[in-house]
Copies of this chain bind each other. A is one copy, B any other.
Amino acid sequence: MKNKGRVTLPTEQNFLKETKELIDKWGADAVRDSDGTELDKGIIELDTKVYKTYFVARGHNDFIKKHLEEMQQLYLMSKFNTATDKTLEVALMDGYYEEQIEPDYRHDPKKWWEVIDRTTGDVVATENWSVNKEDHTVNINNVEPFHEYTVSFLVYMKWDPTHMYNHITNDWGDAPHDIPFDVRQPNSQAYMKDYLKKWVKENPETDVVRFTTFFYHFTLVFNDLAKEKFVDWFGYGSTVSVSVLEAFEKEKGYALRPEDIVDQGYYNTAFRVPSKAYLDYIDFVQAFVAEQAKELVDIVHDAGKEAMMFLGDNWIGTEPYGKYFEKIGLDSVVGSVGDGATLRMIADIPHIKYSEGRFLPYFFPDTFNENNNPVTEANERWLSSRRAMMRNPLDRIGYGGYLHLAYEFPEFVEYIGKVTDEFRDIISHVDGSKPLTKLKVAFVSSWGKLRSWQYFMVSHALWYKQIYTYQGILESLSGLPVDVDFISFDEIKENGVPEDVSVIINAGDAGTAFSGGDHWTDPKLVGNIRKWVHNGGGFIGVGEPSAVSHQGRYFQLADVLGVDKELGFSLSSNKYFTETTTGHFLNRNRTDFDYGESMKNIYATSKDTTILDYSDGEVHLSSSTYGKGRSVYMAGLPFSVENTRLLYKAMMYAANKEDEYTTWHVTNANCEVNVYPEKGWYAIINNSMEQQKTDVYNGEGKALSYTLEPSELRWERI
């Protein structure tokens, strides 16, 4: 008999028969509409839950057009302008998209804007500049020739960025632009609640209100060629307004400067070590968002429906790992899953009844066309996310896009049938129990728990040359038999490393929020970590860990790591330690490591450093001991099955647990084993699309040989 449940399908009008067929084949128990599609009446009468997409702060142009003063705002910075004379004209809109934004002249620029001499960092006195509203320019007097100047100015955002993106991408022509509004403003505030109350009544067939999302879109600004100019999936740019700034000052007792938001043009991206002002600001917004979202969720609940949130688009302020999220009272969060780290980002969300992952590929023509077999991508995505699922399964999975496109690919339909069965099979075996865990690792950065599984991300799931080397750590961790925590520098400063943590990881390029920048000049941070490692903790550094030039060190934990980076200042000190140790636990079975972008000029600081990979005058992999503790340094860790193995071994080694490595262990790096002691199962997975032979060592270290078919998942009794 066919398994059923835990699967959500997109659907569309005039596709009832085929939808029923797919519901059956995939065991779906819920259907949903998409942006721009409507549910077929017939679907509503089936025995499936119905999700309906709901926009809070966009898609209500009739309302907002009467209250344009409540449009969402944004602080922007002009281009850098070099003065060649004693006066300078700055064109505000140079490089910006006039369809998206317009300068805010409603509020006094002299109060809310800032002109900065970027050569000195000084703010230009307001009497030295004036605004020309006709041509959107600022004229600055008494400038210093050959200094650069910028203007930080408030704008209105006239077009919701996601709507704009879809509109431009799909060439929707003269379709009206969704105008986003700020629910902090009085009319919007009242409207959003009244409308939802009305809406829940008018949509009795909807079981689940899928908020897409709440109030504030992540920062997405287009340029004058209508192309993406600035994107930060974590950005609070579009939460700004005069009223939030005024409310902030009232509550926190100090006013923010435009520069606190504009941040030299970096706009406080997640890669910037956050300032106190910025942390205060996002906390303030989060509290407001949670409070307001709760009111909407309450309306949904009062109507007897469930409230689900999409993790994306207007998600700013809702951070599911933040301290206010629980208050919202959501039933569920749904998000896009492309790999293990994004799966865990959804699956690990606390304080909800169930999580749902929208799997890839999307049913769009770019994948579903006659020249492509969508099974390939589906299989790859499933394999990379399944290993994370074995650690913490999602409660539901689903798909998106045009169902009729998927229907045209029978092989795909059949494959997804297997995937959905396998998914339900995992859930039924795991059954809420905790898989065996070898140790607990804490990833330390400026962001701590708030950005769990989101480190090194710029735009959701996009590849960047500067991040893949570090994102590999998260991707590897997502399926490894370890508990993963995320912890901030501030927490370690205050409370030290938590008792239950065996290993901490610090990774990233110097100066970023992930490596830590100036945090590392804080004696409490380095002192607490040193003490903890000295007492037996494990420290793993990747790239430029603990890096800031201070008091003769670049890596502030060079004493713990046994390596530092040569910046040129210490070239005069001979670097004698270059000999590689072979046959070490970490390089015994493998020597062809891949460090991605890698890191130059790393050298061992003493003869006690165990160098495990050295070439071209540089250390790439090493370990060191520090009191009772150990450290491992890696020049980079892009994702691969081999690097996953390396990270796993590095954690076991750093935790002084290499003896436990060979219990519940598979010899073939393409395979993994997970154990569910409460349920008496273990599962061996083949993460590759080829057949694999592997030995599996059980809890007593006894080996059994297995041959696994491509992508196979094998359940065995312990």
Contact = CB atoms under 8 A, between A and B. Distances in A.
Contacts of A531: 145-146
Interface residues of A, number: 71
A422 interface: no
A604 to B, nearest CB: 14
Given A511-B549, A534-B84, A552-B265, A119 B571 contact: no
A566 interface: yes
B466 A566 contact: yes
Q: Which of A82, A528, A550 has the most CB of B within 10 A?
A: A82
B466 A601 contact: yes
Given A572-B219, A574-B229, A144 B527 contact: yes
A272 to B, nearest CB: 6
Interface in A84-130: 84, 116, 118-121
A399 B231 CA distance: 64
Contact of A570 (B118, B223, B266): B266
A531 B148 CA distance: 12
A523 interface: yes
Interface string A56-97: 000000000000000000000100101010000000000000
Instruction: Tell me what chain A mostly uses at the interface: helix, strand, loop, or mixed.
Output: loop
A387 interface: no
Interface string A567-581: 111111110100000
Contacts of A269: 569-572
A219 B573 CA distance: 11
Contacts of A559: 80, 82, 148
Interface string A362-380: 0000000000000000000
B571 A466 contact: yes
A538 interface: no
Interface string A517-553: 0000001001110110010000000000000011111
Contacts of A511: 549, 567-569
Interface in A118-174: 118-121, 144-148, 150
B118 A509 contact: no
Nearest to A514: B568
Contact of A464 (B120, B528, B550, B571): B571
Given A458-B572, A571-B269, A146 B230 contact: no
Contacts of A526: 119, 146
A232 interface: yes
Q: Which of A269, A459, A526, A574 has the most CB of B within 10 A?
A: A574
Nearest to A512: B568
A597 interface: yes
Q: Which of A235, A509, A523, A534 has the most CB of B within 10 A?
A: A523
A576 B84 contact: no
A227 interface: yes
A228 interface: yes
B527 A231 contact: no
A497 to B, nearest CB: 12
A80 B572 contact: no
Q: Which of A116, A508, A600 has the most CB of B within 10 A?
A: A600
Q: Which of A147, A552, A571, A627 has the most CB of B within 10 A?
A: A571
A571 to B, nearest CB: 5
Interface in A208-252: 219, 223, 227-232, 235
A77 B82 CA distance: 46
Given A84-B627, A550-B121, A534 B572 contact: no
Interface string A596-617: 0100110000000000000011
A266 B552 contact: yes
A276 interface: no
Contacts of A227: 574, 576
Contact of A267 (B145, B528, B572): B572
A552 B146 contact: no
Nearest to A627: B84
A500 to B, nearest CB: 21
Contact of A572 (B145, B231, B616): B231
A705 interface: no
A465 interface: yes
B230 A573 contact: yes
Interface in A554-598: 559, 566-574, 576, 597
A271 interface: yes
A147 B82 CA distance: 46
A275 interface: no
A691 interface: no
Nearest to A270: B572
A530 B601 contact: no
Nearest to A559: B82
A467 interface: yes
A264 interface: yes
B150 A552 contact: yes
A600 B600 CA distance: 10
Contacts of A271: 568-569, 571-572
A230 B572 contact: yes
Q: Which of A84, A265, A526, A552 has the most CB of B within 10 A?
A: A552
A464 B459 CA distance: 40
Interface of A: 77, 80, 82, 84, 116, 118-121, 144-148, 150, 219, 223, 227-232, 235, 264-267, 269, 271-272, 458-459, 464-467, 508-512, 523, 526-528, 530-531, 534, 549-553, 559, 566-574, 576, 597, 600-601, 616-617, 627
16 contacts: A77-B552, A82-B530, A84-B534, A118-B551, A118-B552, A119-B527, A120-B523, A145-B527, A146-B527, A146-B530, A147-B523, A227-B574, A228-B574, A264-B551, A271-B571, A511-B568
Given A119-B527, A265-B552, A269-B570, 13 more contacts: A84-B534, A84-B627, A118-B553, A119-B551, A121-B550, A145-B531, A146-B526, A147-B523, A148-B551, A229-B574, A266-B572, A508-B568, A512-B569
